[in-house]
Amino acid sequence: MESMADVNLAQKDEKLKEVDSKTKPEDQQQAENKNMGTIDEESDDDEDYHVPEADIEEITNKSDNEAKHTDEPPEKIDLSCFSGILHHDPDEKSRNCWTVPDSKLFKVRSKNFPNDKSKIPAASYLMELAAIDWFKDTKRMDNVGRQKNCVAQVAAEKGMHTFIVNLQIPGSTHYSMVMYFVTSSLKKGSLLQRFFDGDDDFRNSRLKLIPSVPKGSWIVRQSVGSTPCLLGKAVDCNYFRSPGYLEVDVDIGSSAVANGVLGLVFGVVTTLVVDMAFLIQANTYEELPEQVIGAARLSNVEPSTAVVPDLENNSDGNKDNSSNDATSSEDDSSKKTN
């Protein structure tokens, strides 16, 4: 039978362990976390993710060594076979158009992020923005990638893979801003392939948006901000998986906060230039540094130019929540992949 002295000794020992765990040096805590191979999802101080253009040159050289650790982007694709409702204007001299902003404008988690929370300008995009459609209808438009002859269908016929972002804007007239990002291949085991073929919980925990308003009123720029956002935690996201594409339908109306910001933005959308970058959040050390899937810059979009899509004239695009029934990964080492 234990004596009272033994019990008291044991209790003191437990208290000492408790104090020790609370006062453990920060570097020791980080070392233990690193051994676990994961990053605290909530530890990311995401302020000032968007880098002013004037600062790009100053910080590019600093991040060159880190950039070497990133996967090679896919080889360039001939995008001349793709077209959408909004026209592409690389020179940004017209209205109601799109272009691709410099990837270095967006800051992402660096290789050293777990230790010092540092971020670096993003390396080259993993996928290329092929086209943007601007749709309207009397009801919400889901799974637009099934539409015959759309970018996703054309890309699939050529053996490519498409990531579709369908931003759904509610109202008396429903609008959809649809961005098509394409790549020639998906490397088996890569984060991009795992995102394509993962389940919805995985996608919702990883898909991140970095917004910015390079041109617009102060109140709009403040409302939109430039803080990265996990889309699946902010609004309802519905995913559609087909052998040729993955589509995410972002229901902006599902969040009162997002809908409020949208109401402010949409009212003056013809005066704005808006940037949107999409990436898969890195949650393990092996996934660092983060890489951006792709980005779009929308200039002075005119709601009156939106068209009604012919979604009845479609190919076989079915929602797949089981994630891996439709696999699109390729393990072709002869191609530059994610």
What's the pLDDT at 10? Answer: 52
Contact 158, 138 (CB under 8 A): no
Number of structural domains, the chain?
Answer: 1
- CA torsion 272→298→208→130, rounded to 10°? 180
Residue 283 covered by a domain: yes
- DSSP 8-state secondary structure symbol assigned to residue 202: H
Per-residue model confidence (pLDDT) at position 322: 39
Is the CB of residue 84 less than 8 Å from the CB of residue 149? no
37: tokens are 């191979």
What confidence score (pLDDT) does residue 76 get? 81
Q: Is residue 36 part of a domain?
A: no
In a domain, 206, yes or no: yes
Residue at 232: amino acid letter: G
Distances from the Cα of 186 to the Cα of 15, 69, 163, 182, 192, angstroms: 52, 19, 11, 10, 7
Instruction: Report if residue 1 sits inside a domain.
Output: no
pLDDT in tens, 65-93: 444 445 566 678 889 999 999 999 999 99
Nearest to 133 by CA among 119, 118, 114, 153: 153
Q: Is residue 171 part of a domain?
A: yes
Q: Is residue 257 part of a domain?
A: yes
* Both structure tokens of 181: 């990002």
Q: What are phi and psi of 209, to 5 degrees?
A: -115, 135
Q: Which domain holds residue 281?
A: 87-305
Per-residue confidence (pLDDT) for residue 314, from 0 to 100: 72
Tell me whether residue 128 is in a domain.
Answer: yes
- In the chain, which residues have pLDDT < 50? 7, 12, 15-17, 19-24, 26, 29-36, 41-45, 47-69, 317-338
Residue 316 in domain: no
pLDDT given at position 11: 52
Model pLDDT, residue 57:
41
